[in-house]
Amino acid sequence: MVRRLLTENIGLKLLALFLAIGLVYIRAREKITSQEFSNVRIELVNIPSNMVLAYPDRLYNTTIVLQGPVSVLKFLTSKDLRFALDLAGKKELEQNKSLLIALSQEFLVARVKEQDAKQLKLRENNIHPSKVQITVHIRDVSQKNPPPIYASESLPEDTIEIPLYQLVKHVPVRVPTVGQPPEGYEIVTIRPYPSTITITGPEAALSRISEVSTTRIYLSNQIQSGTTADVPISEFGTADLPVSATATRVNIELKVARTKGG
């Protein structure tokens, strides 16, 4: 059975083998050349959920010189090339700091066959601008018009800047209570510190939140004034629309007084 499989149509199989070897040989000896591509797009992927492009309609481009076989380069255009900068897990952005990324072949995506892409070479000195600085700016979603963004004064040479907005919202803290104080007493003041916190997250999530609440305070045994420290704020946001806050716990000032005749 095995011998039959090997010998059946032996002529066609040998011809296919010679053609494959010839093709590999021709590609190996194919002339390598260089070609310039302008307006190669720079894109940010996996932008944190609480951030958006400050100018989503603006295009960010660079110019590169690629090396590779003539048969591959002659069919390429700038629209087939792009730099994809992955922002997933970048702690610098989470800390509201700028992030400088040097463009390289690691980030280049070419819309060609995988075997053709492996033959393309890009040197870092053949990329201009060669660096991307990503800056984070605060935007309060409660404001209709976001604040203007000015170019960084200390922008490194040969660098393009891409600004992001971190979406925030300032919301009051509410203290829910349960029951009434003991007979002869009344609550004069119940106040959280801070009374307002800043939350950040996707705009769809922030639009749903008008306030946050602490856990409930029981009044039935409150007969003395004082401060309750580190009262947790109830959870807000959802798994698909996560929201975080500048504070997850607050202090609560409670003032109690005797009623007249109490």
* Digit-coded pLDDT (tens) for 200-215: 999 999 999 999 999 9
Q: Which pLDDT band holds residue 2 (cuts at 50, 70, 90)?
A: very low
- Answer whether 254's CB lies under 8 Å from 225's CB: yes
Q: In the chain, what percentage of residues exceed pLDDT 70?
A: 88
Q: Is the pLDDT of residue 20 over 60?
A: no
Strands 131-140 and 108-110: unpaired
- The amino acid occupying position 194 is P
Q: Is the pLDDT of residue 197 over 90?
A: yes
Q: Could you give all domains of the chain from N- to C-terminal order, each with its CATH number?
A: 30-168 (2.170.120.30), 175-258 (2.170.120.40)
Q: What is the mean pLDDT of residues 121-141?
A: 95
Q: What pLDDT, on a 0 to 100 scale, did the predictor assign at position 55? A: 94
Q: Is the pLDDT of residue 226 over 80?
A: yes
Q: Which pLDDT band holds residue 127 (cuts at 50, 70, 90)?
A: very high
For residue 116, the SS3 value is helix
Q: Which pLDDT band holds residue 19 (cuts at 50, 70, 90)?
A: low
User: Comparing 59 with 246, which gets the higher pLDDT?
Assistant: 59
Beta bridge partners of 84: 43
Non-local CB neighbours of 262 within 8 Å, separated by 6+ positions:
183, 184, 185
